[in-house]
Amino acid sequence: MSTDTQTQPGRVILDPTGEQAIVARERVARPKTIDGLTIGLLDISKARGDIFLDRLERELTNRGAKVKRYRKPTFTKPAPHDLRQQIASECAAVVEALAD
């Protein structure tokens, strides 16, 4: 290795990213049974999502779960903060429906 290469100063660039440190969050434990639990069903306001969720509601109710239905104002934007809080406070689990 030549001396020239060894003494070449380090080339430095600036980080173009958001330099985010991702916080790993522990997942809530999966419920052993849904019997008696309140399950949220979130319709993202996309066409025919309701058909899928209606079916899911029947299946969940038959298995003893209570079902609450929620709806995002538009599928193109994240769910509003208040809606997320409401679901978290009222439900043990949530199913978000994507459909077309």
Partner 1 sequence: MAPNASSLPDGLVAFVKRDCPTCELVAPVLLQLAADGVLTVYSQDDPGFPDGVAVSDDTSLEMSWRQNIEAVPTLLRVEGGIEKERAIGWHRGEWESVAGMTGLGPDLPELRFGCGSLSVDPEHATDLLLRFGQAGLQARRIELARLEDEIEALYDRGFSDGLPLVPPTEKRVLAMLEGTTRKPYEVVAVVPSDLVECTVEKVAINAVMAGCKPEYLPLVLAAVEGACTDQFNMHGLLATTMSAGPVLIVNGPIRKRLGMNSGVNALGQGNRATATIGRALQLVVRNVGGGRPGEIDRAALGNPGKFGFCIAENEEDSPWQPLSADLGADIGTDTVTIFPGEGPRTIIDQLSREPESLARSFAATLRGIYHPKAVMAFDAILVVAPEHARLFAEAGWDKAKLAARLHELCMIPGAELLRGAGGMAEGIPGDQAPEFIPKFRPGGIHIIHCGGDAGLFSAVIAGWVGGAIGSQPIIMEVQS
Instruction: List residues binding partner 1 (CB under 8 A).
Output: 5-6, 8, 10-20, 45, 73-78
Strand order in the sheet with 66-71: 66-71, 38-43, 93-97
Reading the block at residue 1, the tokens are: 């290795």
Minimum distance of partner 1 from residue 89's CB (angstroms): 23
Cα 5 to chain centroid, rounded: 50
Cα–Cα nearest to 69, from 93, 53, 92, 80 = 53
- Smallest gap, in angstroms, from Cβ of residue 96 to partner 1? 13
In the complex, what is the shortest distance from the CB of residue 92 to partner 1, in angstroms, rounded to a whole number?
Answer: 27
Measured from the CB atom, is 37 or 75 closer to partner 1? 75
- CB of 64 within 8 A of CB of 35? yes
